[in-house]
Structure formats: structure tokens, C-alpha cells
């Protein structure tokens, strides 16, 4: 296996260096896509040892992921490890996802966060629980507890078959649905969730609503959204 980490980052100067340094021992290479940051995100990522691509303006997480994949899928890596730049994903969990893939458990290994009603914001708890249930039952045909998790490992052979169009956080659900529709095997690995980093930029109601509309489009108009 040759695993490359891909991090989409926007104004993460306070945490991106730690993310890069902590994930580097577990992967062959790290690429950070700076999505139009107005702080020193790019400089901190470079100092930590990442290859950095830059957007001139903020285009959205999905656009940043697509930019990164445009570069990486032309290379020879076997897997892409996706994680966020705000330290809410623990890079120390990367070996668990990589081990599951090395055992042949899935083309997509999804890092599933623990959802605790008492310790996480209620808006995020309910939107994640409801959207994951809907996507599992109606759109991918198998149970996942954290359909919107951005911490995931995907085989490049599977990613090269996709045409991704999402510009925001909905790209994570788009990727999941399209991979499942193409018969990709999905494995699930428990991961830690940390809230001591910067607040999440995800807006639960808006972004979950967009995600659900996107899922409906794939379900009822599949020929248009392969």
C-alpha cells in the first residue's frame, strides 16, 4: 500500500501544522489544499512537510477535495486518506483505517465518530443521526452510523471511476453514495472525536439539507449523476 493524506483546509493556521506532523509517520505523503485562507495556513502546512496547493479564493471543501484528487489520482498511490485540518479528527487513528484496508475489508474505510447526546452539540448529534439513517436505508443499502464523516480511506482504483461534482461538505455523501452504487465494499472503523480544536465550519441545518437533496438527486436521477 502507498497511502497519501489529503487535507482540505480553510483558515487552519493554528492546527494544520500539527495535523500534518501527526499524520506524516503513517502515510507516504501529505497534500494540503488551502482553500483561499486569509491566514498563514499554507505556510504552516509547508513548514510541517506537506505539499500545498492553493485556491485564490474560498471555493468550498468539495472543490478543495476535487483539486487535490485531480493531482493525486494521476500518481501511483494506492489509497487516499481524507481528514480535516482542525484536529477534530485524530491523526493517530490513521493506522486503524489503513490496517482495515490492508486486510482487504473495504474499498472505502469509514472512520465512525462516537455520537454522545450529552457531550456533543445537539444540532450536530441529531443531524448526523438522522442523515446517516436516511442515507443508509434509502441510498446505499447498508448501515453506516456516520455517513458524513470526513475521516476516510479510499482506494484510488475506486476513486478514479467517479465523477465528483460537490463543492461543499456534501461531497462526502456524494462520494459514499457513488461508491456504493458502483459496488464498493464499505468497512467501518471507530475513531476518536476531539472538540478541543477550532470550531467546526460545518453549518448543520444548511449543510445537512444540501446533503439530503443531493442524495435524492442520485436516487431518482442516477443517470445524470454517475
Scan for cell 487552519, then name that residue: 12
Report which of residues 221 and 151 the model is more confident about.
151
Integer Cα distance of 35 and 10 in angstroms? 5
Report which of residues 215 and 73 the model is more confident about.
73
Q: Collapsing DSSP states into helix, strand and coil, what is residue 3?
A: strand
Give me the chain's average pLDDT, please.
84
pTM over 0.95: no
- The per-residue DSSP string of 173-212 comes to HHHHHHHHHTT--EEEEE-----SSSPP---HHHHHHHHH
What integer is the mean pLDDT of 183-207?
A: 70
Q: What is the pLDDT of residue 110?
A: 92
Q: In Å, what is the CA distance from 179 to each residue of 185, 208, 226?
A: 8, 20, 10
Q: What is the pLDDT of residue 141?
A: 65
Report which of residues 65 and 222 the model is more confident about.
65
Q: Which long-range contacts (CB under 8 A, 24 or more apart) does 206-214 make?
A: 207/168, 207/169, 207/170, 208/127, 208/128, 208/130, 208/131, 208/148, 210/168, 210/169, 210/170, 211/131, 211/148, 211/169, 211/170, 211/173, 212/131, 212/134, 214/166, 214/170, 214/173, 214/174
Residue 87, strand partner residues: none
Per residue in 79-101, pLDDT (tens digit) is: 999 999 999 889 999 999 999 99
pLDDT at 15 over 50: yes
Residues of the chain with pLDDT > 90, as a percent, come to 56
Domains (ranges, CATH) in the chain? Answer: 3-224 (3.90.550.10)
Report which of residues 21 and 118 the model is more confident about.
21
What are the phi and psi torsion angles at 11 (to 5°)? Answer: 55, 55
What integer is the mean pLDDT of 21-46?
A: 98
Integer Cα distance of 65 and 61 in angstroms? 6
3-state helix/strand/coil string of 145-172: CCCCCCCEEEEHHHHCCCCCCCCCCCHH
Report which of residues 105 and 129 the model is more confident about.
105
Confidence band of 197 (pLDDT split at 50, 70, 90): very low
Q: In Å, what is the CA distance from 59 to each residue of 36, 54, 155, 167, 205?
A: 7, 11, 25, 7, 20
pLDDT at 200 over 80: no
What integer is the mean pLDDT of 16-34?
A: 98
Q: What is the pLDDT of residue 167?
A: 87
Report which of residues 143 and 118 the model is more confident about.
143
Per residue in 119-176, pLDDT (tens digit) is: 555 556 556 666 665 666 556 667 777 777 889 999 999 999 999 988 888 888 888 8
Amino acid at each position: 500500500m502507498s497511502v497519501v493524506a489529503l487535507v482540505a483546509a480553510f483558515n487552519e493556521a493554528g492546527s494544520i501544522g500539527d495535523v500534518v506532523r501527526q499524520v506524516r509517520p503513517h502515510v507516504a505523503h501529505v497534500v494540503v489544499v488551502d482553500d483561499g485562507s486569509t491566514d498563514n495556513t499554507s505556510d504552516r502546512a509547508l513548514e510541517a512537510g506537506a505539499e500545498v496547493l492553493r485556491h485564490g479564493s474560498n471555493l468550498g471543501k468539495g472543490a478543495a477535495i476535487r483539486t487535490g484528487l485531480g493531482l493525486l489520482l494521476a500518481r501511483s498511490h494506492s489509497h487516499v486518506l481524507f481528514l480535516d485540518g482542525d484536529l477534530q479528527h485524530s491523526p493517530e487513528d490513521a493506522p486503524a483505517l489503513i490496517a482495515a484496508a490492508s486486510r482487504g475489508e473495504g474499498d472505502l474505510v469509514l472512520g465512525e465518530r462516537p455520537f454522545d447526546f450529552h457531550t456533543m452539540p445537539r444540532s450536530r448529534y441529531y443531524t448526523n443521526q438522522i442523515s446517516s439513517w436516511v442515507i443508509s436505508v434509502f441510498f446505499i443499502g447498508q448501515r453506516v452510523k456516520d455517513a458524513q464523516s470526513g475521516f476516510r480511506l479510499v482506494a484510488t482504483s475506486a476513486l478514479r471511476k467517479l465523477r465528483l461534482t460537490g463543492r461543499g461538505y456534501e461531497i462526502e455523501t456524494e462520494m459514499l453514495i457513488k461508491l456504493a452504487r458502483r459496488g464498493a465494499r464499505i468497512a467501518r472503523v471507530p475513531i476518536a472525536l476531539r472538540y478541543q480544536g477550532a470550531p467546526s465550519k460545518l453549518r448543520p441545518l444548511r449543510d445537512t439539507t444540501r446533503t439530503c437533496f443531493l442524495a435524492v438527486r442520485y436516487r431518482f436521477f442516477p443517470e445524470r449523476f454517475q
